[in-house]
């Protein structure tokens, strides 16, 4: 067997909590180090990637109205916790249409 055949792709469960001010995501990633993680937020999507010697992990979530400059992530004892504060100015706006 080659190394590629031995690698596994995993998709661990992610718990997502929400209140008026924040989204919080928690997932178990035993054996994953900070160097293995790649977390990105772009165009209302959060991508989680991890690549270790024996396995890979990828999840993508649609999470709108996030204050992307304030996102934090902490990996402690194999548990990844991501906090995504909601944008203060994210509200519905009615656009008036004018005749030309």
DSSP-assigned letter for residue 20: S
- Phi and psi at residue 11, in whole multiples of 5°? -140, 75
The 10s digit of each residue's pLDDT in 24-50 is 999 999 888 999 999 999 999 999 999
For the chain, the structural domain boundaries read 3-85
* Strands (E) located in 19-78: 22-28, 37-42, 45-51, 55-62, 72-76
DSSP-assigned letter for residue 66: B
CATH code of the domain occupying 3-85:
2.60.40.790
Q: Can you give the pTM of this predicted structure?
A: 0.78
The 10s digit of each residue's pLDDT in 21-30 is 999 999 999 8
The 10s digit of each residue's pLDDT in 67-94 is 989 999 999 999 999 999 999 875 566 7
């Amino acid at each position: 067997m080659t190394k590629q055949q031995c690698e596994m792709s995993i998709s661990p469960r992610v718990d997502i909590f929400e209140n008026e001010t924040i989204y919080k995501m928690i997932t178990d990633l035993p054996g994953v180090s900070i160097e293995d993680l790649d977390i990105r937020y772009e165009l209302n999507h959060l991508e989680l990637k991890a690549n270790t010697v024996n396995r890979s992990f990828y999840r993508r979530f649609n999470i709108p109205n996030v204050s992307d400059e304030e996102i934090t992530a902490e990996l402690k004892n194999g548990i990844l916790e991501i906090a995504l504060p909601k944008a203060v100015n994210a509200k519905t706006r009615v656009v008036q249409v004018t005749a030309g």
